[in-house]
Amino acid sequence: DGGITQSPKYLFRKEGQNVTLSCEQNLNHDAMYWYRQDPGQGLRLIYYSQIVNDFQKGDIAEGYSVSREKKESFPLTVTSAQKNPTAFYLCASLGTYTEAFFGQGTRLTVV
């Protein structure tokens, strides 16, 4: 059945290492989003994409990169330039006249 899948659920990153978080959807949605959530805080927009091969920076894009080569996939790379990456990362997709559906999230920890 349709949905949005994030993997892995838990991820550990060493200092100076790049890591990539996966987000896949089979809802045929055009728009996809990445958010970061810190403890006790709301969701902050990192990047979003309206169509394949196009994406825009959100409010906190520094230290992150994305790609949108396929409609179904919107991976997020947390680069070594992101100095405080420990957070809960949420991916969402949006259809026309529907709500944004969320994946189950990836909890990233720097070790």
Partner 1 sequence: QKEVEQNSGPLSVPEGAIASLNCTYSDRGSQSFFWYRQYSGKSPELIMFIYSNGDKEDGRFTAQLNKASQYVSLLIRDSQPSDSATYLCAVKGSASKIIFGSGTRLSIRP
Q: Tell me which of 19, 21, 23, 92 binds partner 1, using CB under 8 A.
A: 92
CB environment 67-96: b (16+ within 10 A), e (fewer): ebeebbebbbebeeebeebebebbbbbbee
Q: Which of 75, 77, 74 is nearest to 63 (CA)?
A: 77
State the minimum distance, in angstroms, from the CB of residue 11 to partner 1: 15
8 A C-beta contact, residue 29 and residue 95: yes
Shortest Cβ 93–partner 1 spacing (Å): 11
**Near partner 1 in 60-89, by CB under 8 A:** 88
Answer yes or no whether residue 27 interacts with partner 1 by CB under 8 A: no
Residues at the contact surface with partner 1, assessed by CB under 8 A: 31, 33, 35, 41-45, 48, 50, 56, 58-59, 88, 90, 92, 94, 97-105
